[in-house]
Structure 1
Amino acid sequence: MRLKYYGIVGNQTVNKENKYQLDVSEETGLHDSNRGGFMSAYRKILIVCFALFLSSCAWHTTPVLTVKNADMSREIKQRATAVSKVEISPDGRYVLSSGYDCFILWDILLGEKIQTYTQRGFLSYPTAVAFSPDGKYFASGGKGIKLWDLATRQEIMTFDGSKGYSINFSPDGKHFIFCGPPSDLLNPFSTKKPTMKIFDVATGGEIRDFKLQGIPWSVVYSPDGKYVLSGSGNMTLWNTSLGKPIKTVAGSIEAVAFSSDGEYALSGGVDGGVRLWNAKNLTQIKKFVGHTASRITSVAFSPDGKYVLSGGDDGNIKIWELASGTEWKVLAGHTGMYGASAKFFPNGKYVISAGDASTRIWDVSTGEEVASMIAFEDGEWIITTANGYYNSSPKGDQYLSVKIKGKDYTVEQLRESFYRPDLVNLALSGGSLKELKNVANVKPPPVVAIVDTPKSIDKSDAAITLKITDAGGGIGDIRLYLNGSAVMLDSTRGVKIVTANQNEIYKTYKLKLSSGLNSIRAIAFNADNTMQSTDAIYEITASFKSIGRPSLYALVIGINEYKNPKLQLNYAIADATLFADTLKKGASALFDKVEVKNLSSKEETTRENIMKELKAMQSLNPDDLFVLYVASHGTVDDGEYFLITSNVGSTRTERLKTDAIGQSVFKELIGNIPATKKLIIIDTCNAGALGEAIQVAMLTRGMSEDTAMKILSRAVGSTILSASTSLQEALEGYQGHGLFTYVLAEGLKGKADKGNTGYVRTTELADYVDTEVPVLAEKIFKKAQYPTISISGQAFPIGKVR
């Protein structure tokens, strides 16, 4: 005996092999389809127990995700949350996708996951979700029927302990209806009935309890709120005020919907049929022929009533012309493992769908995928566009792989070229990315191995030899990381092959080591630096004796005056001085030596001089700490971040590349500092004319500043604190300083020491700044300022609280 899974046929639950069925009628029982008759309680208990086991496993899978591109596919490498239901908020900003034991809230405007709500129990049920018509609340079924506040994300009340397969708000938002199975569906001795109830949203009181026979899988209000339509094998039209059925159509119907004018109803069921009905008397008008699914799990009307869509257990979503009844578009991509649920966006231009482990957005006019959203069971997430650009949580890009021309790569390997939250936002807001490079065309990275390198050594440096094999995409930048922090970045181009094997090179680098165990990580990029290799990991034990405590070196830069007088700032030097003085006081008790170098005059803050001072820091040792603080202007142009130095006159792209310090140069300068503990603080202001220029650049050319900072942080293995995002003005004039630096200094003085340990660690400082800056910005300036915090590499104490 083997049960695969349960499905619904009319009022009966059938396993996929059609050997057993659960009759939901006056006498609920488990029926043997081969032998005939109802089973004994003993036999029923055995099968029910096995079904419980299956239900606990079924929704923890990692299906392959595919896109309509012969050269590229995506595959999940970590346990992801399977989803089968989806809803869109009335304003089109928020999406709820749900599975059997949880539901996920996404913010389409920001292009990120907000929260996963877990509702696991001994037996999981499909979690129904719905937004209220005013967009202020959402409701969920699963482990009890709950109402939530969308603004705070907090639960308001629990209405009922039942499980909800479907939830729908009344048009005026005052009530909602839900339906679901008996609370003890798999209890072989139960006589409980399926549930369909209406509740008052304000009071939580039950208004109506409908009497049902079959398990209701979907329920919707009519646009005027006078009627309710349910799909429970049969399709029934109900009078809302009386709770009485008006008409029932027999069949195998699971999904139902009303048109926006209330004239029509739509149904889909286990027979694979999609049908249009007269909503007044439930007489069939037409059948949409051609769906390849054996079971229709979702149906919906477009807002203008011209189209309908259906989703089935084959994973395909079809859009049909209502008038002609012909197929118009096929949205193909879901695997169909759990069926596909789909809805039109309120503007009718897009479709949102859920199936397998992905929630996807589609362009109705083209039928093409816009973006795919995946939530993983450990809380990580990723959103990818069809051509490979993505936004993710810190580890989300490690959990998804792409297959390009037959080879597998993790999305993380594409981070420095394709981690573009700004482009994800652009795609989600209707912008086109078709003119940009596509991940399917990226050439393979080289293969890196650490060879001919000792495992142990009795001195403070070692020769690290890399064998780099060209896999067809050439060889670009090479990096070495020591204990998580970049200590060598080699951007040499045109390296000649020096071995008989014409696709290999050997590179040897002299690396300073820490006493004890040293973890070395090496990577190399393809020739155009669009994809990095997998890591080559090596460990060396250095047995030399360290002398004294480590030292702290800081380069503090404040620029008020520029060649272009329109760029002048008022608080940069004052901010730099405040930070330098606060850092010295807090760090002096921790380190053998604290050396803070201030650069503030026009002569000291030119591109040439700042680069010279950063290169001088390459004499540091691995156990030393390096801190860089910059108060100046920053901008993003032509896809690259630029630090504006005092010699900058014109902010045109071609001049910035020669006069300012670009992201690639900045990355190499920081990455070649041997200190394994680095903290970078960028308080760059985007005020005035430069701020306006940045907004234009953001809309036409480049990445956002916060994206640039996050990429830089990961690249150099350092924690970076940045004052504001590209489209925010860094607020100045609080206590004679910029708000960001004022909060930073207060944190260093001890307010960031939340654990009262007597020390301020870099991670605590980052948390304090991240929390306090937005609060003070709103309280004092009545404006928004959200710092960019990117934590990478080692956390370390930076000051002692006096």
Structure 2
Amino acid sequence: MIGKTQGVFQHLIIIFLLLAAVWVSAAERASFGMIVKPVSDEYARFIGLDGPEGAYVVSTPASGGLRPGDVILKVDDAPIKTPADLQEVIRVHQPGDQVQLMIARGKERVQISYALKSAASSGAGFRPGQAARMPSGLGSFPTIESRDFEKEVLKSERPVLAYFYANWCVPCKTYLPIMQEIGQQHADVKIVGIDVDKSRDIVNRYGISGILPAVILFNGGREIDKVMRVSKKALVDVLLTKIRKDGDEIEVFPSIGKGHWITDVAFIKDSGWLTSRDSDQTIFIWDYRQGALVRTYRAVKSALSPNGAYAALADKNRTAIAVVDIAKQKQSLIQTKLFIEKLAISPFGNAIAGFGAEQNGRFSVNIWTPDNRLIRSIPVDPENNPLMVQFAFSPDGASFALSTLNKLEFFATENWERKTVVTMKGAARVLQFTSDSRAILAPGVDENLVDLQGRKTRGIGGRTVVGRPDARLLIVDNGDNSFRLMSDKSGGTGLRFAGHRAPVNAGAVGDAVRWLASGSSDGTVRLWDPATGDEMVQLLAFGNGEWIVITPEGYYNASARGHEFLNIRRGSRVYGMDQFYDVFYRPDIVSAKLKGDPIAGLVTLTVEEAIKNPPPAVQISFLPDRTGDAKVKVCYRVQSTGGGIGEVRLFQNGKLIKSDGFYREVASQDMMATLKLTQLDGGTVYRDMRSLTIREKQSPGAVVLRAKGDVFEECLEMETIAGENEIGLAAFNASNTVQSAMSTARFLSTRASDEPHLYILAVGIDRYRDASINLKYAAKDARDFLAQLADKAKTIYKPDNIHLTRLIDERAGKSDILKAVEKLASEVKHGDSFIFFNASHGLLLQSQYYIVTGSFDGSLNRSESLISSNEIVEMSKKIKSLSQLYIFDTCHAGGVDAIVSGLYDARMSVLAKKMGLHIYASAGSVETALDGYQGNGLFTHALLEGLKNGAAVDKDKSGAVTVKSLGIYARETTREISNTLGHPQTPLMINFGKDSRLFEVR
């Protein structure tokens, strides 16, 4: 297994390969006998170099005069600009030759005489593009590089097993016979090797972490599944079952590994938050009750306290440390004289440890208080490779352990006296205190369990599960990426937890938390029921800011584009979760699952049920590359693949322009009549959703206007818009539960652009026929937003081209709003922009979102006074504009709890995706609405501030405020102000379709 320490070597240039003899009989050649890497910009500045030149010494033989941290600048008279230059220099030398080295040792410049070492060499090594020669009798398989990947893998007619290896990786060579045996047994499968050091683009694309060897199975150009640490043939055999025709296993899986592997997890006490840290030094704060990512901290070097409550973050120059109280969101700053390589922080945040080079080139571990006071400096022997230095605080904060080569030291944090020194053999790969703080786990040394008195024993291995000081809990690897939970107070083999695709590195429990958390090299954090071994959810954050939380049933919460990293597999067929978005994007179900509530009553459709009726295949017929015509004929074909044909949706530039389905209203009017608006709290909504399940199970989705059979073909005249036109086509299966992948076609319209017009329809309702639900600021919000945006829009539109419609109070009944939409539908053109602003009551009932209009008299009669999300879809289709923004600043009379918030998120997101447009949506309580903020509703206040302060909104200095940038500004402003007011409120900003300018910044 290549662990966390060895995984770092992916980025090193290894000058002295001790592994050469594994492959071939060797001849003698000269070598420096050390490991070097490029010099970073930050370290070059730290030691006074003009730029990142030279070769940084990572490790070196004890003799020779070099130290880790030295930078080789010259060999004899030859300048060394990069590590590769060292290889060129020694080509003319023999082992034993003396060379003169000019080195930078901190800020000093030193010249030393160095004797070259001897190393094995051969002209027949393992090189990309050549066959990888196995030990005698085992045969060979080809290796490929990036330029051949598409041809050899993605376009292969056969399934492909891609074997990711590195020349420095001993297990990669050890397990090659497994792959050869697979090749002999499965002639229909192609096997290729990919060198991770030579194909970094492929490695990054498919999320291969430092756990090698790894295997990815491809079929039909798509990734089917992967396994990291291929140590058993059975692991590859399981992979191959997923492409067999008789395979009917259905699995929901995120694109694991596209993030970095997880190194730490912990539950913050009394907070509802789970913290995790990955190998890229990023710290994630998760709301484990809601199933959502709360916050992210990025740093070049970082550390989490054992209890997850505090973080230490090095700045970009690696000389200063931010100390973060995560729950309180408070920070302090420590200025150091070290170039920081590693960090640790105590569970109380009162001591911070940093290891790194001083400006004299020597290494030390320094301890500071958060107020920048140096407590102690511990020198580190120069013979230590920096990778060997490990240190940690105990969970109770009373002890500090430091591991270096052949030595383990314990310090008492009360006075920082050294209490115990223990002689060890070798260096620990990882250093962890046991959860009871009484001993250290030190994988990598023979006797890997050492107590505070220095007594050494051979433990069972594993990783500490933090959070239980009364029991020594451990996660123990089973060797197949599953693990078992062990305790010093329980015997037996422990319960098996299976699901991770790579080894588990960290575990956590909490006093008031019912779940076990695990963090793995597959990039996921998973929550489990420790009593049964059942997985509750996966939490996965990607390097691009997107994230997913998903239940085993397939229901998920995600960032705006997080679902793009989620797939569903049945046998050899892989579907994108985007095809199931309407049904399975359900933050409310994720939240219910994490509360431990049964979700069967909320589930209208399972993945297994949905995928049994696959979506149809769709195809757009030929379109011209360019046209000057005002209209173009678009023809398309939809063909059943076994699940029939349901609703067909056609999009232009991302916006829905045609669909042939309508949506049934499922609620009983008799039942509705018995409810009051203020009764629709989270509990009522929850029970209502459960009562809906049975009816939706019988006939989910849209009702299609006409039956289509197994093949459906249609043509229509579509109005073009000047510039690029992108046509998108998607179709559902007959039950309208699974959508096809989107088919797209593009053409360029050379027609002249019409003068753009802006249409704004603003609705604000304070006074209702039922006066008991009257609001205070909604009408003013509509007036203010309309006036301010219209004024700003003059920077783009002529004043005569800005058209305003305002509906207030008694003039904002349902019929009034729908009449206004009908009028606008006859006026608005494709190239115009349309904005709908609504400030009023809103409600959630039986999977629908409703606007409560001014004609509401206390009776929940939808036909008279409520506008449903289905009707909003129809409004959008009628209005031809391809650039539409809908803003809902609504008050939920029953309050906004976790259930309401999660379902609100789900319904609004599906609504935006369905229409292919942008939605700003904020749901607050009546109390918040009546309080307002500086004369407006809070969310509208944030929007108005964004309109006033365009320069602050335009952070990328584009010269304009756009739909997306205003949304981001309003969301952050609302969240910040609402937290200070004690009524946390985070608006949703949902963007489908193209971004567009609202006004120019002048």
TM-score, length of structure 1 as denominator length: 0.78
2:639 matched to 1:472? no
2:898 matched to 1:691? no
Give how far 1:366 is off: 2.6
Give how far 1:225 is off: 5.3
Equivalent pair of 1:256/1:265 in contact (CA under 8 Å): no
2:759 matched to 1:553? yes
1:659-738 equivalence runs, <5 A: 660-686=866-892, 690-692=893-895, 695=897, 699=899, 703-724=902-923, 729-730=928-929, 737-738=936-937
Give SS of 2:468's match. coil
Give how far 1:347 is off: 3.9
- What amino acid is aligned across from residue 889 of structure 2 in structure 1? D
Give how far 1:72 is off: 0.2
Equivalent pair of 2:227/2:502 in contact (CA under 8 Å): no
2:636 matched to 1:460? no
**Distance change (3 Å), C-alpha of 1:205 and 1:464:** same
Q: Counterparts of 2:841 and 2:447 in 1: how far apart (Å)?
A: 59
Give SS of 2:804's match. strand
**Distance change (3 Å), C-alpha of 1:268 and 1:319:** farther
Bigger CA drift: 128-137 or 102-111? 128-137
Give SS of 2:538's match. strand
Bigger CA drift: 728-737 or 670-679? 728-737
Bigger CA drift: 400-409 or 655-664? 655-664
Bigger CA drift: 756-765 or 630-639? 756-765
Equivalent pair of 2:306/2:394 in contact (CA under 8 Å): no
2:295 to 105, 114, 125: 114
1:341-356 equivalence runs, <5 A: 341-345=506-510, 347=512, 349=514, 350-356=516-522
- What amino acid is aligned across from residue 638 of structure 1 in structure 2? Q
- In the alignment, what sits opposite 1:787? 987
- What amino acid is aligned across from residue 720 of structure 1 in structure 2? I
2:452 matched to 1:282? no
- Which has the larger helix fraction? 2
Give SS of 1:27's match. coil
Q: Deviations over 1:75-120 (max 9, x none)?
A: 528943333444444456555544444323223256116225252x
Q: Deviations over 1:266-289 (max 9, x none)?
A: 636359x997776545254x854x
- In the alignment, what sits opposite 1:187? none
**Distance change (3 Å), C-alpha of 1:191 and 1:754:** closer
- What amino acid is aligned across from residue 714 of structure 1 in structure 2? K
Give how far 1:467 is off: 1.3
Give how far 1:626 is off: 1.5
- Taking only the aligned residue pairs, the percentage that are identical comes to 22
Q: Counterparts of 1:465 and 1:429 in 2: how far apart (Å)?
A: 49
Q: Deviations over 1:625-652 (max 9, x none)?
A: 2121222111222332111123444576
Give how far 1:623 is off: 1.0
Structure 2 unmatched runs, 5+: 9-15, 24-32, 36-58, 67-95, 97-114, 126-165, 170-194, 209-224, 229-237, 239-247, 663-702
Give how far 1:624 is off: 1.8
Give how far 1:246 is off: 4.5
- In the alignment, what sits opposite 2:410? 238
**Distance change (3 Å), C-alpha of 1:412 and 1:231:** farther
**Distance change (3 Å), C-alpha of 1:607 and 1:226:** closer
Query: Please, what is the CA RMSD of the aligned residues?
Result: 4.9
- What amino acid is aligned across from residue 677 of structure 1 in structure 2? S
2:836 matched to 1:628? yes
Give how far 1:260 is off: 5.2
Structure 1 unmatched runs, 5+: 31-36, 120-126, 185-189, 289-295
Q: Counterparts of 1:145 and 1:587 in 2: how far apart (Å)?
A: 45
Q: Counterparts of 1:115 and 1:615 in 2: how far apart (Å)?
A: 45
2:473 matched to 1:305? no
Give SS of 2:725's match. strand
Q: Deviations over 1:665-718 (max 9, x none)?
A: 3123213421111122222223xxx233x54xx53x784434433333333232
**Distance change (3 Å), C-alpha of 1:394 and 1:260:** closer
Q: Counterparts of 1:7 and 1:777 in 2: how far apart (Å)?
A: 44
- In the alignment, what sits opposite 1:522? 729
Q: Counterparts of 2:835 and 2:863 in 1: how far apart (Å)?
A: 25
2:378 to 189, 195, 209: 209
**Distance change (3 Å), C-alpha of 1:609 and 1:95:** same
Q: Counterparts of 1:287 and 1:257 in 2: how far apart (Å)?
A: 13
Give how far 1:348 is off: 5.8
Equivalent pair of 1:144/1:164 in contact (CA under 8 Å): no
2:351 to 165, 172, 175: 175
2:301 matched to 1:135? no
Q: Counterparts of 2:34 and 2:7 in 1: how far apart (Å)?
A: 10
Q: Counterparts of 1:192 and 1:26 in 2: how far apart (Å)?
A: 17
Q: Counterparts of 1:57 and 1:543 in 2: how far apart (Å)?
A: 42
Q: Deviations over 1:245-266 (max 9, x none)?
A: 354465886555545555x536
Give how far 1:522 is off: 1.6
**Distance change (3 Å), C-alpha of 1:348 and 1:249:** farther
TM-score, length of structure 2 as denominator length: 0.64
**Distance change (3 Å), C-alpha of 1:357 and 1:752:** same
Give how far 1:378 is off: 3.1
Q: Counterparts of 1:736 and 1:191 in 2: how far apart (Å)?
A: 61
2:551 matched to 1:385? yes
Equivalent pair of 2:501/2:522 in contact (CA under 8 Å): yes
Q: Counterparts of 1:423 and 1:511 in 2: how far apart (Å)?
A: 40
**Distance change (3 Å), C-alpha of 1:659 and 1:509:** farther
Give how far 1:782 is off: 6.7
Give SS of 2:485's match. strand
2:251 to 44, 55, 72: 72
Q: Deviations over 1:704-750 (max 9, x none)?
A: 43443333333323232334457983355556543444554565467
Q: Counterparts of 1:163 and 1:513 in 2: how far apart (Å)?
A: 58
- What amino acid is aligned across from residue 340 of structure 1 in structure 2? N
Equivalent pair of 2:310/2:345 in contact (CA under 8 Å): no
**Distance change (3 Å), C-alpha of 1:231 and 1:672:** farther
1:536 to 735, 740, 743: 743
- In the alignment, what sits opposite 1:335? 501
**Distance change (3 Å), C-alpha of 1:645 and 1:542:** same
- In the alignment, what sits opposite 1:123? none
Equivalent pair of 1:559/1:573 in contact (CA under 8 Å): yes
Q: Counterparts of 1:730 and 1:595 in 2: how far apart (Å)?
A: 29
Bigger CA drift: 792-801 or 747-756? 747-756
1:27-106 equivalence runs, <5 A: 27=62, 41=117, 43=119, 60=204, 62-63=207-208, 64=225, 70-76=249-255, 79-91=258-270, 93-106=272-285
- In the alignment, what sits opposite 1:769? 970
Bigger CA drift: 239-248 or 478-487? 239-248
- What amino acid is aligned across from residue 41 of structure 1 in structure 2? K
- What amino acid is aligned across from residue 62 of structure 1 in structure 2? G
Q: Deviations over 1:587-617 (max 9, x none)?
A: 5652653333333354x53434433443444
Q: Counterparts of 1:479 and 1:274 in 2: how far apart (Å)?
A: 65
Q: Counterparts of 1:161 and 1:359 in 2: how far apart (Å)?
A: 33
2:563 to 394, 397, 401: 397
Q: Deviations over 1:131-172 (max 9, x none)?
A: 276935445799678343235586723546466567352x65
Give how far 1:537 is off: 0.9
2:607 matched to 1:439? yes
Q: Counterparts of 2:948 and 2:451 in 1: how far apart (Å)?
A: 72
**Distance change (3 Å), C-alpha of 1:708 and 1:235:** farther
Q: Counterparts of 1:103 and 1:4 in 2: how far apart (Å)?
A: 15
**Distance change (3 Å), C-alpha of 1:4 and 1:421:** closer
Equivalent pair of 2:850/2:868 in contact (CA under 8 Å): yes
Give how far 1:319 is off: 0.3
**Distance change (3 Å), C-alpha of 1:650 and 1:347:** same
Q: Counterparts of 1:131 and 1:599 in 2: how far apart (Å)?
A: 55
Q: Counterparts of 1:75 and 1:801 in 2: how far apart (Å)?
A: 40
